[in-house]
Amino acid sequence: GNSVTQMEGPVTLSEEAFLTINCTYTATGYPSLFWYVQYPGEGLQLLLKATKADDKGSNKGFEATYRKETTSFHLEKGSVQVSDSAVYFCALTVTGGFKTIFGAGTRLFVKA
């Protein structure tokens, strides 16, 4: 079946530190991959996406590369800010599928 596994949190970093949140997936077919972010008290919103192997999604300084050989889509940011504190969800949708499969979410705390 299709599944998404992401690193457990919480992750606590100091401002300007480098961020990596690992995400690996299992999927039949050719999935599209997503990172969603949920700020406190809000719904999820799309952060970035990649729809085929070797694509790199990027937004707001965050990046993730679709690695088919390692079935991974790790989220990275070179210098985090306090405002990046949120819960991050990795997700996939398989071509022809109707559901999006979400990972368990990783909570990020950034200290000033």
79 binds another protein (CB under 8 A): no
Give the per-residue contact string, 41-70, with another protein (x = CB under 8 A; - = no).
Answer: -xxxxx--x-x-------------------
* Separate counts of helices (H) and strands (E) for the chain: 0, 12
Q: Compute the distance between CA of residue 28 and CA of residue 26 in angstroms, rounded to an integer.
A: 7
Least Å distance between CB 89 and another protein?
7
Give the per-residue contact string, 22-41, with another protein (x = CB under 8 A; - = no).
Answer: --------xxx-x-x-----
Least Å distance between CB 98 and another protein?
4
80/93 with CB nearer another protein: 93
Q: Compute the distance between CA of residue 104 and CA of residue 58 in angstroms, rounded to an integer.
A: 21
Closest by CA to 105, choosing from 71, 72, 75, is 75
- Going from the C-alpha of 49 to that of each of 3, 12, 65, 107, the distances in angstroms are 17, 24, 9, 19
Q: Please pick, from the candidates 22, 58, 65, 100, the single residue that binds another protein as defined by CB under 8 A.
A: 100
Contact residues for another protein, defined by CB under 8 A: 30-32, 34, 36, 42-46, 49, 51, 87, 89, 93-100, 102, 104-105, 107
